[in-house]
Amino acid sequence: DAGITQSPRHKVTETGTPVTLRCHQTENHRYMYWYRQDPGHGLRLIHYSYGVKDTDKGEVSDGYSVSRSKTEDFLLTLESATSSQTSVYFCAISADLAGGIYNEQFFGPGTRLTVL
Amino acid sequence: KQEVTQIPAALSVPEGENLVLNCSFTDSAIYNLQWFRQDPGKGLTSLLLIQSSQREQTSGRLNASLDKSSGRSTLYIAASQPGDSATYLCAELGEGNQFYFGTGTSLTVIP
């Protein structure tokens, strides 16, 4: 299994509080991703990173920010949590091999976030 | 925005049956297509990856095919077992190194 950990694994917080989720990888992969998974919507990309300090927005980036100061860590911050951000959050990684034509994606175990 | 569709949303089969799961995509410039398995409350496990230059990949009882011209991929599961019960998702890699996911097919294999 790819070495990806997420912390915390479960969190309950209140509306309006900031929350930071951490993704840590030991594979030295270039790309890292944050997704949220909700019933009826499947997996939706929030933000992704293509290198240290290089990030870009995904489909559902409003209300979220990210940072990547080291290859192995990718942080997702909910600046002011809302109930609509209650979800399961997954981190994923992929390598950049052979000019980017072989980018198998591996997932972390997920973080279940509840915003009351 | 690329669209990925998986039909049916749910499938129930008796043990031992061979089955096919379908994935349709709109991206004509697809780089690769990946199939995943997700068990309840768990993360996604990669099953098979098909590069755009390939037509199929096999792993054990699983075989995935890719037809770029028709925008379709299929995952074939031979001799299904109760342990195959899970949700199966497909994802295509398009431009900008972004993956687009289908909403999955929930498979139940009845002993």
In this predicted model, what pLDDT tens digit does every residue of A32-61 receive, in sequence order? 999 999 988 889 999 999 999 999 999 899
Tokens read off for B91: 């994802």
Cα gap B51→A32, rounded to integer Å: 20
Residue B17 has pLDDT above 90, yes or no: yes
Range A3-9 average pLDDT: 96
To the nearest whole number, what is the mean pLDDT of chain B? 92
How far off is chain A from B96, nearest CA to CA, in Å?
10
Cα gap B83→B37, rounded to integer Å: 12
Name the band, by pLDDT with cuts 50, 70 and 90, for residue B30. confident
Q: What is the DSSP letter of B42?
A: S
Residue B75 has pLDDT above 80, yes or no: yes
Out of A42, A50, A109, name the one closest to residue B101 (CB): A42
pLDDT digits (tens, 9 = 90+) for A74-95: 999 999 999 999 999 999 998 8
Cβ–Cβ contact A59 with B under 8 A:
yes
Cα gap B87→B103, rounded to integer Å: 9
